[in-house]
Amino acid sequence: MVISIYIYADACRSIIKKTLYYISQRTGIRAILVANRPLSIPRIPSVKSIQLGQRYYITNHHIVALIKENDLVITVHRTMDYNIIDKGELVLNPRGATHSKTCINVRLNMREFLDFMRNSGI
């Protein structure tokens, strides 16, 4: 059973957030939106927002620090995915695809390879 749903809200589309509000209202599962900027959320007791500073990756670190057993995280950050999966929790991207360690490793390796290619002028 999922205890809480953490959402990296800066990169999450409004339709996904609205769906999560609906789910939270119907089931009572806590939805916690974590962002660097102010968010407008509905007045639903089980929905909460956390606004953090503008420092690089502060949102990622905050979510990783907050999650507990059986929590669900919705994010687009691959490095955060890896840290969350290491804790044994479930990670989804905003399109609903689950992530595994193998999947994250492949994507991180591809990103590093493409960065290397761009930086070398190829």
- Tens digits of residue pLDDT in 26-52: 999 999 999 888 888 999 999 999 998
Kindly state the percentage of the chain with pLDDT values over 70: 69
First to last CA, the chain: 48
**What confidence score (pLDDT) does residue 114 get?**
84
Structure tokens at 121: 């002028």
Mean pLDDT of 62-84: 73
Second CATH level (architecture) for the domain 4-119: 3-Layer(aba) Sandwich (3.40)
- Domain extent listing, the chain: 4-119
Residue 54 scores a pLDDT above 90: no
Asked if 72 and 3 count as a contact pair (C-beta separation under 8 A), the reply is no
Place of tokens 């962002």: 35
Q: How far apart are the C-alpha atoms of 92 and 80, rounded to whole Å?
A: 11
CA distance 45 to 36: 22
More confidently predicted of 97 and 69: 69
* Mean pLDDT, residues 78-84 taken together: 58
State pTM to two decimals.
0.72
pLDDT above 90: percentage of residues in the chain? 20
